[in-house]
Structure 1
Amino acid sequence: MTGKKRLLVVAHAPSDNTAKLRDAVMAGARHPDVDGVDVTLRTPLDTGPEDVLACDALILGTTENLAYMAGLTKDFFDRCYYPCLEQTQGLPFAFYLRAGHDGTGTERAIRSITTGLRWKLVQDPLICRGSYDTRFEEQCRELGLYVAASLDAGVI
């Protein structure tokens, strides 16, 4: 056991651009100044309740599909909701969306599910709206750094 806190990143990245966002979150979370946090990356399909139960904080990344979260992200919640419901209350989390439109349906759905889980949103959602912009990558890097550094410092 390392004694480090555990940050879980669950990212749905079906395209080159969403992979860039995922990689930026990971780069921020693994910043060299954050040494007290182990960061694990999983896809929604490869994430189970045991992964959520073992983490100290979580960052979720998904795409907007038909004004809702990606099906694999919903599948992640479907599989993890009840096994995690009583044991992860207060889990610090953040999320980012790659939204070709406005992202409001996806944001609403994630907020609804995580409110039911009683997870604690530690930063406003990052919604990367419209046409792809390389500035999204810097925003994702900052998100990863913010969550990891806050976890490391004991702020969350």
Structure 2
Amino acid sequence: MTHKHLLIVYHSQSGNTEKLAKSALTGAMGEGSCTTRLVKAWDANLEDLLWCDGLLIGTPENFGYMSGALKDFFDRTYYPAEPYALNKPYGVFVSAGNDGTGAIREIDRIAKGYPLRPVVQPLICRGKVTATHLAQAEELGLTLAAGLAFGIY
């Protein structure tokens, strides 16, 4: 097992996605062979992408799409990341007022170009964030961190 790095990039307007992000961080920290950074989308940059071995992306669903802050992160890093052919594993969690599928679809389309590759099922938390959602986010963080640490991804 080699030491790995997981980046959790998220945006939260109401606080729901931030709760999920912090739960994912708690889960990821359960894997001692993986260092995890939790970074707001407005603050995340190319250096964060180059540092990490895997990525967990969190967003609220806004008008059936990802948040503007997450789209901004992609806009700021897409072309600068191009020469690095990242090919890193990623997962997504969405706090959704509707069905969340539009946000997932568009994140997947953008991620393919980096390239990033999806390695876990997206987590879509519809409505108010519940204890079950938080437990699922924690499990998602642990799963991605453990998969990185054990070389599965």
Could you state the TM-score of these two structures normalised by the residue count of structure 2?
Answer: 0.93
Match of 2:121 among 124, 130, 149: 124
How is 1:25-64 mapped onto 2 (pairs within 5 angstroms)?
A: 25-31=24-30, 34-64=31-61
Aligned to 2:16: 17
Offset of residue 124 of structure 1: 1.3
Match of 1:86 in 2: 83
**CA RMSD in angstroms, aligned pairs only:** 1.3
Deviates more, 1:146-155 or 1:10-19: 10-19
Q: Deviations over 1:96-141 (max 9, x none)?
A: 0111101121111101101122211110111112343321101100
Say which is worse superposed, 83-92 or 36-45, in terms of deviation. Answer: 83-92
Mind listing any 5+ residue stretches in structure 2 that lack a counterpart?
Answer: none
Distance (whole Å) between structure 1 residues aligned to residue 126 and residue 111 of structure 2: 22
Normalising by the residue count of structure 1, what TM-score does the alignment of the two structures yield? 0.92
Deviation at 1:56, TM superposition (A): 0.6
Identity of aligned residues (%): 41
1:14 deviates by 2.4
Q: Contact 1:89/1:118 (CA < 8 Å) preserved in 2?
A: yes
1:62-117 C-alpha deviation (Å, 9 max, x unpaired): 01011110000000000011111231432011110111101121111101101122
SS at match of 2:98: coil
Q: Which runs of 5 or more residues in structure 1 are unaligned?
A: none
Q: How many residues align?
A: 152
Measure the CA separation in 1 of the matches of 2:86 and 2:22: 28
- After the TM superposition, list the runs of 4 or more consecutive aligned residues in structure 1 that deviate by more than 6 angstroms: none
Counterpart in the other structure of 2:6: 7
